[in-house]
Chains A and B, each alone.
Chain A
Amino acid sequence: AAGVIQSPRHLIKEKRETATLKCYPIPRHDTVYWYQQGPGQDPQFLISFYEKMQSDKGSIPDRFSAQQFSDYHSELNMSSLELGDSALYFCASSIARTGYPTEAFFGQGTRLTVV
């Protein structure tokens, strides 16, 4: 079965540079979530989108922005990168179905290293 696809898998950037992470949800899933996981930490919610509109916002820095496109893929744009942004970034997707609980399925993540 198709899973959530994230690209790139690994990314190395220098301080103050910009990075763009991409996420392709499971086909027919209408909701996308972004999470950040630092070393030894639990995943922290950044932002989510439902039907291309922002659904909820968590601890996402102002330097980061995201959007969901018409084909439901999503991109997380990160500017003015800092060393502390080094982390594993996960995308997850789900499908909203009336009367059913929402199960979120995660991609393999993008490991961002800022040097």
Chain B
Amino acid sequence: SQQGEEDPQALSIQEGENATMNCSYKTSINNLQWYRQNSGRGLVHLILIRSNEREKHSGRLRVTLDTSKKSSSLLITASRAADTASYFCATDRNYGQNFVFGPGTRLSVLP
């Protein structure tokens, strides 16, 4: 089964609301990264959190990591229509030799 599974698979919210997406994984990791992908486009790197970090902020993004539960969450505050995209987490288990992606969450922010 997949290393890195997103929850929920799809999320619809109104502009201005907060969006929370979760990611779980199965094995120990070195770090975890979140990416955004607009429909059929490239993967944009959002934020990286190391395995020894618990929380990280970048603008309207807040990422948490709970290694005991093998899970991470991505919170987007004050969402905008432009945040509509798919969001993926990717885990690094092998010191950058490869990254394992989860199935992604499709976020729709309605105006």
Which A residues fall within an 8 A CB radius of B? 31, 33, 35, 41-45, 48, 50, 55-56, 58, 88, 90, 92, 94, 96, 101-109, 111
* Smallest CB separation, A34 vs chain B (Å): 10
Once the chains bind, are B99 and A104 in contact (CB under 8 Å)?
A: yes
Known pairs A56-B98, A108-B42, A111-B40; A103 contacts B103 (CB<8 A): no
Please name all residues of chain B whose beta carbon is closer than 8 Å to the beta carbon of A105 when the two chains form the complex.
45
Please name all residues of chain B whose beta carbon is closer than 8 Å to the beta carbon of A88 when the two chains form the complex.
40
Count A-B pairs with CB separation below 8 Å. Answer: 67
Told that A45-B101, A92-B99, A102-B92 touch, could you supply 20 new A-B pairs with CB distance under 8 A? Answer: A35-B101, A42-B88, A43-B88, A44-B101, A45-B100, A55-B97, A55-B98, A56-B97, A92-B43, A101-B96, A102-B96, A103-B45, A104-B45, A104-B90, A104-B99, A106-B35, A106-B44, A106-B45, A108-B42, A111-B40
**Complexed CA–CA distance, A115 and B95 (Å):** 38
Known pairs A45-B98, A58-B98; A103 contacts B42 (CB<8 A): no
Please name all residues of chain B whose beta carbon is closer than 8 Å to the beta carbon of A42 when the two chains form the complex.
2, 88, 101-104
Once the chains bind, are A101 and B48 in contact (CB under 8 Å)?
A: yes
Nearest residue (CB) in A for B31 is: A101
